Amino acid sequence: MTVASILKEKPDRLISVQEDSTLSDVAEILTRENIGAVPVLDAKGDMTGIISERDIVRQIAREGAGVLARTVSSIMTRNVLCCAPEDSVSSTMAMMTQRRFRHLPVRSNGRIIGMISIGDVVKRRVEDAEREAASLRDYIVRG
Q: What is the pTM of this model?
A: 0.85
Q: Please, which pLDDT band fits residue 143 given cuts at 50, 70 and 90? A: low
Helix (H, G, I), strand (E, B) or coil at 53: helix
Higher-scoring residue by pLDDT: 132, 57: 57
**Residue 5 confidence (pLDDT):** 94
- The pLDDT of residue 94: 94
Write out pLDDT tens, residues 75-114.
999 999 999 999 999 999 999 999 999 999 999 999 999 9
- Taken in order 32, 117, 10, 23, the sign of the CA dihedral is positive
pLDDT digits (tens, 9 = 90+) for 18-54: 999 999 999 999 999 999 999 999 999 899 999 999 9
